[in-house]
Amino acid sequence: MKGLCILGATGSIGVSTLDVVARHPDQYRVVALTANHNIDGLFEQCLTHHPEYVVVAAEEKAEAFKDKLADSPVSDINVLTGAEALQQVATLDQVDSVMAAIVGAAGLLPTLAAAKAGKTILLANKEALVMSGDIFMRAVKESGAHLLPIDSEHNAIFQCMPGGYETGHKAKQARRILLTASGGPFRETPVEELHDVTPEQAVAHPKWDMGRKISVDSATMMNKGLELIEACLLFNMSPDDIQVVIHKQSIIHSMVDYVDGSVLAQMGNPDMRTPIAYAMAWPDRFDSGVEPLNIFDVKQMDFEEPNLERFPCLRLAYEAIKAGGIMPTVLNAANEIAVDAFLNERVRFTDIAVIIERTMAHFTPDSADSLDIVLHADRQARIEAQRVIEGLLS
């Protein structure tokens, strides 16, 4: 029986994880659940899964949550609050696996703490890895933690790697990764119409049901940019050996091209419970609840090269990983600020790339070999991105 901590339990990935957990009560026990604001969702999860610990990260919501719990059948749950408590529950002795499913930089410190404590990390929170890069990968190596990708593409690549493969290593026989992308909702929208896109249009993804931030990232293709950087780190590959492929049906979730000419693909219905179940059962497999793929319904699969003029965010991600040092941290921070401003209707959809590019231009790729340097670069990039936004608004 493995003990599980879910960081970001109330989000899209968190909910899918609990759906998988409920199918395997003999294999997983929920030790800790965390959420930010959504205390109603968290309370319902507590009634079903009865964890030992809960963290309400937003301190102003903690009292209301405790009141709900007090008169409930699960009043014995330990309630903690604040960002530090996330690290505490991610490193508890009774936790074996940590699902890192907080969105954005807020997930870095608890996920890194879990890595340092040698836990098995089920990594959905790609921003945490992108911003801390080698520091994160080193922490995993030094503690002997297992790092298993949840992002569907990286999970697919991991499944296509040679037997016994562990992330962080280079598989010498693999010469190229083909990283698939759906292309998002604006794959065919005329470029001149993109600046009128509203947040509602941007978050309505054609193939995947996800949180708002990653949905906007999918629409700009910054999601693929972050995933490119994620793939370089997880699979120890150069960005030149990773080809982004637009595959609008989202049936193939990525491919590995081997030196002998074999190309291995992982396929399935687009449902995050497949990669979640794979990582949870690894190195075995178990039921995820996902409908079997009906290959006759697929009929056709298309593959296109992405257009970097339509998707400048993808170009910026290539530039950031090639420049190295703190640039991926800066890219990620500027993107988080820009997406937030777009979702709050302060800037236009097409301003997102402008804000990131202007923010990046303000920085040089200094080496990122300590956590302090990374956290400082993250803070400075957020300040600079806000300054760029004020400039656009004036």
Residues that bind ligand NAD (CB under 6 A): 8-14, 35-36, 38, 57, 101-103, 106, 124-127, 151, 208, 210-211, 214, 272
Residue among 194 and 210 whose Cβ is closer to ligand NAD: 210
Tell me how many residues contact Mg ion (CB under 5 A).
3
Binding to Mg ion by residue 271, rule CB under 5 A? no
Q: Is 33 helix (H, G, I), strand (E, B) or coil?
A: strand
- Considering the complex, what minimum distance in angstroms separates the CB of residue 37 from ligand NAD? 6
The 8-class DSSP code of residue 31 comes to: E
Q: In the structure encoding, which two tokens stand for residue 40, read together?
A: 């109603």
341 makes contact, choosing from ligand NAD, Mg ion, none, with CB < 5 to 8 Å by partner type, with none
365 makes contact, choosing from Mg ion, ligand NAD, none, with CB < 5 to 8 Å by partner type, with none
Euclidean distance between CA atoms 298 and 292, whole angstroms: 12
CA distances from 27 to 14, 20, 277 (A): 18, 11, 12
* CB-closest chain residue to Mg ion: 151
Dump the DSSP string for 125-158: -HHHHHHHHHHHHHHHHHHT-EEEE-SHHHHHHH
384 makes contact, choosing from ligand NAD, Mg ion, none, with CB < 5 to 8 Å by partner type, with none
Ranges within 128-157 binding Mg ion (CB under 5 A): 151-153
- Considering the complex, what minimum distance in angstroms separates the CB of residue 383 from Mg ion? 29
Residue among 180 and 358 whose Cβ is closer to ligand NAD: 180
Number of alpha carbons in the 13 Å side-chain half-sphere of residue 208: 31
Residue among 85 and 117 whose Cβ is closer to ligand NAD: 85
* Cβ density class 144-175: b for 16+ within 10 Å, e for less: ebbbbbbbbbbbbbbbbbeeeeebeeebeebe
156 makes contact, choosing from Mg ion, ligand NAD, none, with CB < 5 to 8 Å by partner type, with none
* CB-closest chain residue to ligand NAD: 11
* List of residues contacting Mg ion (CB under 5 A): 151-153
